Structure 1
Amino acid sequence: MLNAAQLVASFRRHTLSPVEVMCAVLDRATRLDPRVNGLCGIDEEGALTAACEAEERWAKRSPCGPLDGVPVSVKDLVAVRGMPTRYGSLTARADLEHTDAPAVARLRQAGAILFGKTTTSEFGNKIVTDSPLTGVTRNPWDTRRSSGGSSGGSAVAVALGMGPLSLATDGGGSIRIPACWSGVVGFKPSFGLVPAGSASSFVALSSLGPIARCVEDAALMLGVMAGPASADPFAGVERGRDYRTGLADSIAGLRIAFSPQPTGVTVDPSIAACVRRAVLLLEALGARVEEVEVRPLAGYRESKMHSIQWAVSFARRVREMSAVQRTRLDPDVRELAQFGEQVSTAAFVDALAARHTLVQEMAGFFEEYDLLVTPVFHMGPPHVPGLPEALRMAPPLTSWCNQTGQPAVSVPCGLTDEGLPAGLQIISARGADAVVLRVARAYESARGPFPAPPPMADAVEHTAPVGCPS
């Protein structure tokens, strides 16, 4: 399975064609996706047409952008022209979108082939991917377990080679957690760096970002999407930056805070061991690592600031639905909305005030340190179906970054005692996305290649997609 940068290099050398690659992706989707349920829609005809057009451009040595001919999937919370946006919900209409979301439009302009939509929990509501519309999405390493969520479909698609890149969203860990549990790279940019369009929320928590097989691909995709959109009042950064520039620079001398058991959470010992080995590698690369207690986060879990804001946003969404629509919702969404309806004005204002304080205190923390590293999640993926009661709170190791708007990445850092991927989370100050990616790349290079999920012995028999040679 080649990554996006390798595909582009192959197109340039004419050793591979976009049509060959697109057919291979469609073939893998045909064979593997029935086992994991990561894709909820494929525009096969449109993908093959776009691949032929890309092939003609490469034949003339005139690619239209840095992703010309590269297959990219998109989480089904984000609009893609010519495909429906269903949000994992039986309440959503199946009308085809007439316009792309801003980030999708930029991917298309860069030549990406937007071939399919990936599964999500309903409206991205939780950290496992299941919904009334599309059912359960399973982990590519162990199909008895969850892929994570709410961007589980995107993580699964990338992990299994159903396209090297996927556009996902993260409102509390929804990129990083499934990337961690699926053994791929997931990057949540600084809030507002990638325009969210209608995928944003009024509480300003969700960011759009890449899920990829390697850090270089995440940086490539981020550079294509980043920059303000005229309709996005929160975006405030310039376009045109290539986040691959300086990606391979040394990390020697960077001040890295290491929090092995953040916010009082008990981390599974085998996950903790993987993360600690990763930190030792960072130290061997010349970073100045200090094990710390992150005091601004000491009371984060008990404050419920994220849970309150998240629930209120869902209460608002459900309030606008008809009585019939509400009966068709995932019970978890109804429960979340009911909690949001019970939040008093005073409690909501207190949550916003606590958020403001956390933003200030973490800004101070990142004046003392360049980066913070932690585990992505304190335990491995739960079995399907359902979401255990203990995991229904805001994910304590990831959601605070959404409160502060800071960039954070999940990079695979080993396999647990159960043979499942563990993730290293690297975080920095808002706007320091390039630094996060540079440290992630340095670790990834020192770690060496990460294994792919084990073969699926019971994958569906091969049938060539329409339009592709068998």
Structure 2
Amino acid sequence: MMQGVELVEAYRTGELSPVEATQASLEAIEEFDDQVNAFVLVDAEGALAAAKESEARWHSGEPLGPTDGVPISVKDALWTRGWPTLRGSTLIDESQPWDEDAPCVARLRESGAVILGKTTTPEYSWKGVTDSFRYGVTGNPWDPSKTSGGSSGGSATAVGLGMGAWSIGTDGGGSVRIPAAFTGTVALKPTYGLIPLFPPSAFGTLSHVGPMTRTVRDNAAMLDVVTGFDARDWSALPTPGRSFLDGLDDGVAGLRVAYSRNLGFGKNDPEVEAAVDAAVGVLAAAGAVVTEVDPGFADPVEVFNVLWFSGAAKVLQAYGDAVDDRVDPGLRRSAAAGAQYTASDFLDATAARMELGLLMGRFHLDYDVLVTPTLPLAAFPVGQDVPDGSASPEWTSWTPYTYAFNLTQQPALSVPCGFTSARLPVGLQVVGPRHADALVLRVGQAYQAATDWHLRTPTLAAR
């Protein structure tokens, strides 16, 4: 599977055309999607037409941008002009006009990217696995009977199986990083506001947009495209002044890396912990100064829940009371809890969130990055919100290392760092201070330069 940066170089030299790359992506969708359910919409005719236009631009030496002709997909939580955005829900009217792109989709389209279709998400992206009444369950490229994770599970599975080189997802509590860890792919939750979002999420400023790829280099290249300023997002950051590819290969020699196995409150599967320990050893061997240390905060899950459940309540509020049999029971449960919170509860949670941000800001005065497992476990069976034996029905019970950094709005990257004995991927999370997205990518690139986990072929594709 050629990656996006490789495809663009092949277009430049004439070794490959965007039409050939798009045809290969569509063939992968045809071969694998019945087994994993990654897509809710595929527009083969439109994609091939766009690829032919890209091919003509490359032949004339006038590509629209550095990603012209790269086949991509879009999570079905982001607006796409001409296609419905149904968010995995039976409540949304498909017949309404769909005449506007989300900012990231607009930037990708303007750059000449070939949009193949839209990928699966749980209802309103509310949980850490991908299944819904509307579209069913999404499986894992390494074992379709296991979950892809979520809520950007369709995007991760699509990228993992070569059903497009890139995808764009959203992350409100881990939703690009969770599926990246479970599928052996790469995903970045950038600094909040770096990728503009419109319309705004019901989950407020917890929700980020993030690039999903097979390699860190591709992630940086995609980030260059989707970070363009968009006035529709009042919290959007200015367009970066330099490429995220600049300095990507500068390595980690001398960087101060804090390693926390469990943030002081998680509990890992031994095989996951061994893989992450080994990954940290790779960074140390590359010259990083590694210190084992916890950041020093207690599990902020209750703070997160106030904000997350309030968002769930807001999602369902618009539909009235008669939706019980049409809505995921877990989403209904979360919304019912959220409806009980007061404005004072919300402001208290916001204050606790700011305290956590202050703590992490000070922590990063001493450490350039923090590394942790992305998740404490490998993928579990599809159709379950939580693994077997869980003491809690909440998806946050098994994702203790992701949602804290939505609260703090820091960049957090997941890269594959090994496998369990059952041949299921393990993820390494790299967290940096706000606005240090380039540094986080640089650490991930240094790790991938020294390892080959990201080059492994998923079991489904190897058959």
The TM-score with structure 2 as length reference comes to 0.95
**Counterparts in 2 of 1:294 and 1:240: CA distance versus 1, 3 Å:** closer
CA distance in 1, matches of 2:203, 2:184: 31
**Residue 413 (structure 2) aligns with:** 409
Written as runs of structure 1 = structure 2, the 5 A alignment for 1:142-161 is 142-161=143-162
Indicate conservation of the 8 Å contact 1:43/1:83, yes or no: no
1:229 aligned counterpart, secondary structure: coil
1:311 aligns with 2:309: yes
Using the TM superposition, give the Cα deviation of residue 352 of structure 1 relative to its aligned residue in structure 2, in angstroms.
Answer: 1.2
Give the residue type in structure 1 aligned to 2:16: L
Q: 1:426 aligns with which of 427, 430, 442?
A: 430
Indicate conservation of the 8 Å contact 1:223/1:240, yes or no: no
1:339 aligns with 2:340: no
Using the TM superposition, give the Cα deviation of residue 392 of structure 1 relative to its aligned residue in structure 2, in angstroms.
Answer: 1.1
**Residue 452 (structure 1) aligns with:** 457
1:300 aligns with 2:300: yes
Indicate conservation of the 8 Å contact 2:168/2:210, yes or no: yes
**Residue 69 (structure 1) aligns with:** 69
1:210 aligned counterpart, secondary structure: strand
Using the TM superposition, give the Cα deviation of residue 457 of structure 1 relative to its aligned residue in structure 2, in angstroms.
Answer: 8.3
Indicate conservation of the 8 Å contact 1:307/1:393, yes or no: no
Q: 2:366 aligns with which of 365, 368, 374?
A: 368
CA distance in 1, matches of 2:200, 2:166: 19
Indicate conservation of the 8 Å contact 1:73/1:118, yes or no: yes
Stretch of structure 1 that moved more, 227-236 or 215-224: 227-236
**Counterparts in 2 of 1:155 and 1:393: CA distance versus 1, 3 Å:** closer
CA distance in 2, matches of 1:235, 1:457: 41
CA distance in 1, matches of 2:300, 2:101: 37
**Residue 12 (structure 2) aligns with:** 12
Indicate conservation of the 8 Å contact 1:372/1:426, yes or no: yes
2:332 aligned counterpart, secondary structure: helix
Give the residue type in structure 2 aligned to 1:354: A
Stretch of structure 1 that moved more, 59-68 or 93-102: 93-102
**Counterparts in 2 of 1:212 and 1:391: CA distance versus 1, 3 Å:** farther
Indicate conservation of the 8 Å contact 1:89/1:123, yes or no: yes
Stretch of structure 1 that moved more, 236-245 or 7-16: 236-245
Gap runs ≥5 in structure 2: none
CA distance in 2, matches of 1:165, 1:199: 23
2:72 aligned counterpart, secondary structure: strand
Indicate conservation of the 8 Å contact 1:227/1:240, yes or no: no
Indicate conservation of the 8 Å contact 1:263/1:300, yes or no: no
**Counterparts in 2 of 1:263 and 1:199: CA distance versus 1, 3 Å:** farther
Using the TM superposition, give the Cα deviation of residue 380 of structure 1 relative to its aligned residue in structure 2, in angstroms.
Answer: 1.3
> Could you list the per-position Cα deviations for residues 186-228 of structure 1 after superposition, in whole angstroms to 9, with x for gaps in the alignment?
1110000000111534531011011101000000000111143
2:416 aligned counterpart, secondary structure: strand
CA distance in 2, matches of 1:176, 1:104: 20
Written as runs of structure 1 = structure 2, the 5 A alignment for 1:223-234 is 223-234=224-235
2:370 aligned counterpart, secondary structure: strand
CA distance in 2, matches of 1:97, 1:66: 28
Written as runs of structure 1 = structure 2, the 5 A alignment for 1:112-261 is 112-201=113-202, 203-261=204-262
CA distance in 1, matches of 2:328, 2:460: 32
> Could you list the per-position Cα deviations for residues 300-322 of structure 1 after superposition, in whole angstroms to 9, with x for gaps in the alignment?
24xx1111100001101211113
Stretch of structure 1 that moved more, 93-102 or 433-442: 93-102
2:143 aligned counterpart, secondary structure: coil
CA distance in 1, matches of 2:250, 2:36: 38
CA distance in 2, matches of 1:342, 1:275: 39
Q: State the identity %.
A: 44
**Residue 101 (structure 1) aligns with:** 102
> Could you list the per-position Cα deviations for residues 337-383 of structure 1 after superposition, in whole angstroms to 9, with x for gaps in the alignment?
00101223332222111101101111000111100000000111121
Indicate conservation of the 8 Å contact 2:203/2:308, yes or no: no
Using the TM superposition, give the Cα deviation of residue 324 of structure 1 relative to its aligned residue in structure 2, in angstroms.
Answer: 4.1
1:392 aligns with 2:390: no
Indicate conservation of the 8 Å contact 1:190/1:405, yes or no: yes
CA distance in 2, matches of 1:352, 1:89: 29
Using the TM superposition, give the Cα deviation of residue 323 of structure 1 relative to its aligned residue in structure 2, in angstroms.
Answer: 3.7
Indicate conservation of the 8 Å contact 1:44/1:115, yes or no: yes
1:439 aligns with 2:437: no
CA distance in 1, matches of 2:235, 2:200: 13
**Counterparts in 2 of 1:139 and 1:33: CA distance versus 1, 3 Å:** same
Count of residues in Structure 1 that have an aligned counterpart in Structure 2: 455
**Counterparts in 2 of 1:456 and 1:230: CA distance versus 1, 3 Å:** closer
Indicate conservation of the 8 Å contact 1:263/1:396, yes or no: no
CA distance in 2, matches of 1:350, 1:132: 34
> Could you list the per-position Cα deviations for residues 32-70 of structure 1 after superposition, in whole angstroms to 9, with x for gaps in the alignment?
000000011011121111011001111111111111111
CA distance in 2, matches of 1:341, 1:202: 14
Using the TM superposition, give the Cα deviation of residue 22 of structure 1 relative to its aligned residue in structure 2, in angstroms.
Answer: 0.8
Give the residue type in structure 2 aligned to 1:14: G
Stretch of structure 1 that moved more, 190-199 or 366-375: 190-199
Aligned-residue CA RMSD (Å): 1.5
Stretch of structure 1 that moved more, 179-188 or 391-400: 391-400
1:155 aligned counterpart, secondary structure: helix
Indicate conservation of the 8 Å contact 2:229/2:239, yes or no: yes
**Counterparts in 2 of 1:199 and 1:42: CA distance versus 1, 3 Å:** farther
Stretch of structure 1 that moved more, 386-395 or 8-17: 386-395
